[in-house]
Structure 1
Amino acid sequence: MYRTLFPRDVFAELDRLQREMQEVFETGPSIRGVGRGGFPAVNIGSTPQSLELYAFAPGLDPSSIDVHLERGVLTIAGERAAGLPAQDEKASVHINERFAGRFRRVVSLPEDDVNPSGVTAEYRDGVLHVSVKRRQAPQPRRITIQ
């Protein structure tokens, strides 16, 4: 019936607040990428043969996207045009929820596990698919005695 000024479990609320603040300020490059809610949204997975990255970036010209791999750090950068009406006194924008401007996503990969010469990138239907082949592990072999 009556609400108290403070929640019953103050420490649980402080813990929740701390987790939310850490998510907001989490910007270090890692397998999870840079920040939350960045553009383009990415999914990252792996197979025994490769690491697979899918970046969801509809409406981009593939030539405006730069994919770069150096020392185990994969970078996807580019720019998306605003696509708004020309700025004049008769045109106005009521809602603008689409991301426009320069973007950059950085993902740290295990450097000793990836093959820099085995990287492919393909853009189709608004999805950028980057495949990074893994290095082949040395296979055991039988040595014949002469």
Structure 2
Amino acid sequence: MRNSYLQTDLSSEFDRLQQQVASLFGGLPSSLRSDRYGSFPKLNVGTTDDAIEIVAFVPGVKSDQLDVSIDKGLLTISGQREASFTKEDGDDARRYAQERYAGSFRRTIELPPNANPDQVTARCTNGCLMVTIAKHEASKPRAITVQ
């Protein structure tokens, strides 16, 4: 029994060390704010010729539990995710491990200067929040005719 406790304790220490090293050498882009190891929700940020697209992975969160706002060039996604394991599950139910995040969350993304905060759409489907921010017309690529 003592060996399994020792292995579990060593595993958690190695996990903690790995998190510390990742935070030192993460090399995260400066446009993602408040990002840390294990932050929620995870994000994909990309661009097309016409828009900036952000996908936030929010499984278990309903669209009415999400808040999306833009202020001073920062996009903020916040909300609440309920715990999947509660005391109401029974008096004899005990949690041994929990890897799924529950509680309040908030992520902030710095938008590029060509983002148009007046043209934003957001939709949540199958646990993915898709936010599309149009680019200003002047920043879109265009063909120039050579004479």
Q: Same fold (TM over 0.5)?
A: yes
- Runs in 1 of length 4+ with deviation above 3 angstroms? 18-21
Residue 46 of structure 1 aligns with which residue?
Answer: 47
Residue 115 of structure 2 aligns with which residue?
Answer: 114
**Could you list the per-position Cα deviations for residues 61-110 of structure 1 after superposition, in whole angstroms to 9, with x for gaps in the alignment?**
11110000111100000011112132664221122111001100000012
Deviation at 1:40, TM superposition (A): 0.5
Deviation at 1:114, TM superposition (A): 1.3
User: How many angstroms apart in 1 are the aligned matches of 2:22 and 2:130?
Assistant: 30
Give TM-score scaled by structure 1 length: 0.71
Greater helix share, 1 or 2? Answer: 2
Q: Aligned residues: percent identity?
A: 36
Deviation at 1:57, TM superposition (A): 0.7
Give TM-score scaled by structure 2 length: 0.71
Unpaired runs of at least 5, structure 2: 1-19, 143-147
Q: Decide which structure has the larger Cα Rg and report it.
A: 1
User: How many angstroms apart in 1 are the aligned matches of 2:125 and 2:119?
Assistant: 20
Quick one: which amino acid aligns to residue 92 of structure 2? Answer: K
The answer as to 2:86 corresponding to 1:73 is no
User: How many angstroms apart in 2 are the aligned matches of 1:97 and 1:21?
Assistant: 19
- Equivalent residue pairs, number: 121
